[in-house]
Amino acid sequence: MRQIICQPQRLDASASIIDSLNQEYQRLFNQLFQAVDTMQNNWNGKDNLAFSNQIKGFHDDLKQLSNIMTQYSEFLKNTARAYRETQDEIYNQAKALVN
């Protein structure tokens, strides 16, 4: 028989790591677009326009990746909470058993 082993602390720790990485990702994401805006102010021409448009074309995809990371972190937190609640419920039911 196979076993499912779940350690809520590890799920919470993984969620925290993802949250931290997502914050760094968002910081770099914003920094990239600020740099592109700064370059637009100092670099004129069709080459700059092509470069800026190409980079800005990734905006929605980069934002979506951040959203997915947030959703996955929430999933891990919710799973850890549900597992803890289930453990507590089973524990309480086991305590209520009569010999």
Element (H or E) spanning 30, and its range?
Answer: helix 8-42
In a domain, 15, yes or no: yes
Q: pTM of the predicted model, to two decimals? A: 0.82
Mean pLDDT of the chain: 93
Question: Shortest CA distance to 73 belongs to which of 9, 7, 18, 4?
Answer: 18
For residue 2, what pLDDT is reported?
80
Q: Is the model's pLDDT at 43 over the cut of 90? A: no
The more confidently predicted of residues 74 and 46 is: 74
Task: Enter the tokens of residue 64.
Answer: 């979506």
Tell whether 37 is covered by a domain.
Answer: yes
Q: Give the alpha-carbon dihedral of 36, 40, 46, 52, to 10 degrees.
A: 20
Residue 52 lies in a domain: yes
pLDDT for residue 6? 85
Is residue 2 a part of any domain in this protein? Answer: no
Domain count, the chain: 1
Both structure tokens of 85: 């609640």
CATH of the domain at 18: 1.10.287.1060
Mean pLDDT in residue range 73-98? 93
pLDDT at 99: 66
Range of the domain at 67: 8-96
| Band (7; pLDDT cuts 50, 70, 90) | very high
